[in-house]
Amino acid sequence: MLTKAVIDKLEIPTSSGCYQFFNADKKIIYVGKAVNLKSRVRSYFQISADHTPAKRKMVSEAASVKWLEVDSEIEALLLEANLIKKYQPYYNVLLRDDKRFAYLHISLEDEVPGLFITRNIGKAGKYYGPFTSSRALIETMKAIRKIWPYCTQKKIKAEPCFYYQVRRCTGVCGGVISRAEYLKTVIKPIIDFFDGKKSKLIKAYETRIKILEKAKPEIGTEKYQELLKLKLTLTHFKHVLASTKVISVGEKYANDVIELAKVLSLPKIPYRIEGYDISNIFGEQVVGSLVVFANGEAEKSSYKKFKIRTEREGDVWSLTEMLERRLAHTEWPLPDLILIDGGKAQVSQAKRVLAKFKIDVEVLGLSKGAGLRSAIARDKIYFAGEKLPLELPLASPALHLLKRVRDESHRFAIGYHRDLRSKKFLLK
């Protein structure tokens, strides 16, 4: 069994990389990534460590640890994904449902191949993952785009997209370069990088640069432009890998989820939260929004819009319809927590709808104070069956998480409402 004393005797490096915990049967039970391997591994065995029950069980079963060093945080992220995919460690799956993992999809069949984040593997192309943090993957894709400016358009249009103007696209979407050239100079290097061929890429760039330099191309020629472009790409490559910080991205939010469970004494950690909001103006074009947060991060692919059909006026009845329609979709995964933009009435009604469907999920309401001081009033948290709401300190991470969910559901509902109003105006 591993202990803090045992860990302290191991010569674990302080560099970036991945660590693997093994049980007594020498089977990998957990894979993680870290900016500082020694510090991260030690943190599991600190007396002060505040772990979830599942993580405590994982630590108690850990009999040995191994680690792999890499040169950058991005490479640590990619290595973690590859190791999880290869070994499917039990506690990686237990601590976070595999359905919530993010994957990188490189769409090779589109007119304009590109990079996209998905939760489902199905369409043709190449897939990489699973990634434990979609936010870290987003930041990695932003960094990759600085090196190889891939396009997010799927079809060729008359003119290049906006990102061509800011040098984040080669112009393939507007016919500036051919699809074949785009595949060769942008997509192929990205695939090689995600396949772990960093050294091969660097060597290929350096070799081609030496050949061109030896030829001494004249200024303004095609080969001279190629030389400049290769040098710039290689410089960006090395700089981005060295400077991009991705590992800590998303981890803060995961901690916020645990903090929320502790502060509110929830029966389980709400890894998956659904936020609901109703939007209307004078009862017209009433719409509802459903947003999903997984491990503290917005999961936009799971957002849903509802055009309210009920003729009964009031947010309570609109919420009732929206919840009933949502719960009818048994193929959608159930949340650990439902957050309503509202107060006691909305929470009570939501619990009644859940009871009708024989579903037991914790429901909270979050609302601001009313009146002239509403802009500076503290947010109030309403519980089912409780008469008085709870007010958390303004600096509370748990409150910040709830507000992010509430504000995002409100933004999404308002956006949908505006779209419907615009369409109605155009039809007049």
Answer whether residue 56 is part of any domain.
yes
| Cis ω for the linkage preceding 113 (within 30 of 0) | no
Are both 296 and 387 inside the same structural domain?
Answer: yes
Residue 422's Cβ-count burial label (10 Å; 0-12, 13-18, 19+) is exposed
Which tokens in the block code for residue 296? 């503290």
User: Please, are residues 206 and 215 in contact by the beta-carbon 8 Å criterion?
Assistant: no
pTM for the whole structure: 0.69
Contact 14, 36 (CB under 8 A): yes
**Pair (291, 414) in one structural domain:** yes
Q: Are residues 112 and 191 in the same domain?
A: yes
What is the C-alpha separation between 60 and 330, in angstroms, rounded? Answer: 36
Structure confidence at residue 423 (pLDDT): 58
C-alpha 279/C-alpha 145 separation (Å) is: 37
Where is the domain boundary, 215, 243, 271? 243
Residue with tokens 């043709």: 124
Tens of pLDDT along 366-419? Answer: 997 654 444 556 899 999 988 899 999 888 889 999 999 999 999 998 887 677
In-domain check, residue 97: no
Cα(133)–Cα(397) distance, integer angstroms? 19
The answer to the question of residue 222 being in a domain is: yes
Q: Distance of CA 360 to CAs 40, 120, 127, 280, 389, Å?
A: 36, 27, 36, 29, 21
Number of folded domains that form the chain? 3
Is residue 82 included in any domain, yes or no?
no
Q: Distance (Å, rounded) from C-alpha 7 to C-alpha 324?
A: 52
Task: Specify the DSSP class assigned to residue 355.
Answer: H
Closest CA to 187 of 119, 264, 118, 104: 104
pLDDT computed for residue 93 by the predictor: 77
CB 315 within 8 A of CB 272: no
Please tell me the predicted confidence (pLDDT) of residue 313.
79
What mean pLDDT is reported for the chain? 89
Residue 289 pLDDT more than 90?
A: yes
Q: Note whether 411 and 353 are same-domain residues.
A: yes
Nearest to 163 by CA among 154, 152, 155: 152
Predicted local confidence at residue 347, as pLDDT: 96
Residues 323 and 399 in one domain: yes
Task: Domain of residue 60: give its range.
Answer: 4-72
pLDDT at res. 372: 41
Do both 239 and 271 map to the same domain? no
Structural domain includes residue 253: no
- DSSP secondary structure letter of residue 393: -
Give the residue from 342, 386, 385, 384 showing the smallest Cα distance to 365. 342
Q: Is the pLDDT of residue 119 over 90?
A: no
Q: Which two tokens stand for residue 271?
A: 């890894």
Please state which of the ranges 49-58, 159-168, 204-213, 413-422 shows the lowest mean pLDDT. 413-422
Contacts of 107 (CB under 8 A, 6+ apart): 113, 114, 115, 116, 123, 124, 125, 154
d(Cα 70, Cα 75) in Å, to the nearest integer? 6
Nearest to 399 by CA among 351, 367, 355, 359: 367
> Is 252 within a domain?
no
Give yes or no: residues 210 and 328 share one domain: no
In a domain, 204, yes or no: yes
On whether residue 125 sits in a domain, the answer given is yes
Question: What's the maximum distance between 2 C-alpha atoms anywhere in the chain?
Answer: 82
The confidence score (pLDDT) of residue 371 equals 46
pLDDT exceeds 70 at position 240: yes
Do residue 218 and residue 278 come from a single domain?
A: no
The verdict on 237 and 299 lying in the same domain is no
Looking at the chain, the whole-number percentage of residues with pLDDT higher than 70 is: 92
Q: How far apart are CA 89 and CA 392, in angstroms?
A: 37
Give the span between the Cα atoms of 268 and 204, in whole angstroms.
51
Q: Which range among 153-162, 180-189, 281-290 has the greatest average pLDDT?
A: 180-189
Residue with tokens 């560099």: 15
Indicate whether 266 and 414 sit together in one domain. Answer: yes
Domain shared by 420 and 294, yes or no: yes
